């Protein structure tokens, strides 16, 4: 799959014809077999420090393609809201599954440099750690909030000043529901401190479910549509409380609408 497939349009919708009758009968084993192959190839290059931004886009879109092959459908909207920006930005998103970690690079990276704020376990994860480390993420522990806040503020401002946008998942854990009380304002504070636009990102990715005992390897459920919707850029004013509430409202509104579509 070429990165041009979803690069320069505002929206992308999976063509149902991409699915395969054979593969969607057993979507989970087929997907993981292909996905692991992509991860191992990417990690091999990353370990040798040969994994480029274009490689990241290609591997992310390969994961997307593997999901489409088993009848998963993607609906991506609002890309022009960040494509047209002349400066880096902070994306603030809900966090639902492993899927967004794998796929967002293929959606955002064709247009601008980007990295994530991630928990430290991802840079210790077997094999996949090499890919994550190559993206030079901002790593937090989720154990010492004050130190994590300092890390995000300092490293985030530095990366933004160098032209790299940041994806922040303010929730402490992945969940299918948005709890405003657990959705912190660190992304808003980073955007305000760095003086860059804030882009809300609502996503629904529970087609890739949470597994047990390994959370990252849950069942693939093709009947649950995959949504990514980017909101309009915001300039954070004052203490940022109003913009934070706008982000929460944007995400909640999209999640409610998507839920109704599947009822």
pLDDT in tens, 206-231: 999 987 767 888 999 999 999 999 99
What is the reported pLDDT for 3? 45
Task: Assess if residue 15 is contained within a domain.
Answer: no
What is the reported pLDDT for 2? 42
Greater pLDDT, 6 or 242 = 242
Asked if residues 41 and 13 have their Cβ atoms less than 8 Å apart, the reply is: no
Asked if residues 101 and 131 have their Cβ atoms less than 8 Å apart, the reply is: no
pLDDT in tens, 120-152: 989 998 899 999 999 999 999 988 889 999 999
Task: Assess if residue 79 is contained within a domain.
Answer: yes
Taking alpha carbons only, the member of 50, 215, 214, 217 closest to residue 131 is 50
What is the reported pLDDT for 143? 85
Confidence of residue 173 (pLDDT cuts 50, 70, 90): confident
- Which range marks the domain in which residue 216 is found? 73-262
- Determine what percent of the chain is predicted with pLDDT higher than 90: 80
pTM: 0.94
Spatial distance between the Cα atoms of 226 and 204, rounded to a whole number of angstroms: 6
How many Cα neighbours within 13 Å face the side chain of 41? 13
With helix as H, strand as E and coil as C, how does 159-203 read?
HHHCCCEEEECCCCCCCCCCCHHHCCCHHHHHHHHHCCCEEEEEE
Task: Assess if residue 238 is contained within a domain.
Answer: yes
Task: Assess if residue 96 is contained within a domain.
Answer: yes
Indicate which CATH number applies to the domain containing 248: 3.40.1130.10
What is the reported pLDDT for 93? 98
Overall domain count for the chain: 1
pLDDT in tens, 6-55: 666 899 999 876 656 667 678 999 999 999 999 999 999 999 999 999 99
Task: Assess if residue 172 is contained within a domain.
Answer: yes
Task: Assess if residue 5 is contained within a domain.
Answer: no
Task: Assess if residue 34 is contained within a domain.
Answer: no
**Residue 163, burial from CB neighbour count under 10 angstroms (0-12, 13-18, 19+):** exposed
Task: Assess if residue 16 is contained within a domain.
Answer: no
138-140 sheet: strands from edge to edge: 12-13, 74-77, 226-230, 198-204, 90-93, 165-168, 114-119, 138-140
Spatial distance between the Cα atoms of 237 and 59, rounded to a whole number of angstroms: 37
């Amino acid at each position: 799959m070429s990165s041009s497939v979803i690069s320069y349009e505002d929206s992308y919708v999976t063509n149902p014809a991409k699915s395969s009758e054979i593969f969607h009968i057993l979507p989970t084993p087929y997907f993981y077999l292909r996905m692991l192959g992509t991860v191992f190839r990417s990690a091999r290059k990353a370990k040798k420090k040969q994994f480029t931004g274009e490689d990241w886009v290609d591997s992310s879109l390969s994961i997307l393609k593997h999901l489409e092959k088993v009848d998963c459908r993607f609906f991506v909207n609002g890309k022009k809201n960040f494509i047209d920006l002349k400066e880096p930005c902070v994306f603030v998103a809900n966090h639902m599954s492993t899927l967004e970690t794998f796929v967002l690079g293929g959606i955002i990276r064709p247009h601008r440099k980007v990295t994530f704020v991630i928990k430290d376990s991802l840079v210790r994860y077997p094999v996949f750690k090499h890919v994550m480390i190559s993206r030079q993420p901002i790593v937090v522990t989720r154990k010492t909030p004050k130190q994590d806040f300092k890390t995000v503020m300092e490293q985030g401002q530095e990366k933004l000043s160098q032209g790299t946008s940041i994806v922040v998942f303010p929730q402490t854990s992945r969940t299918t529901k948005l709890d405003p009380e657990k959705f912190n304002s660190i992304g808003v504070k980073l955007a305000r401190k760095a003086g860059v636009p804030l882009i809300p990102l609502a996503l629904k990715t529970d087609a890739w479910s949470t597994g047990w005992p390994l959370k990252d390897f849950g069942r693939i459920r093709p009947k649950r549509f995959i949504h990514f919707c980017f909101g309009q850029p915001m300039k954070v004013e004052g203490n940022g409380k109003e913009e934070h509430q706008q982000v929460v409202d944007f995400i909640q509104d999209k999640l409610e609408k998507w839920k109704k579509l599947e009822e």
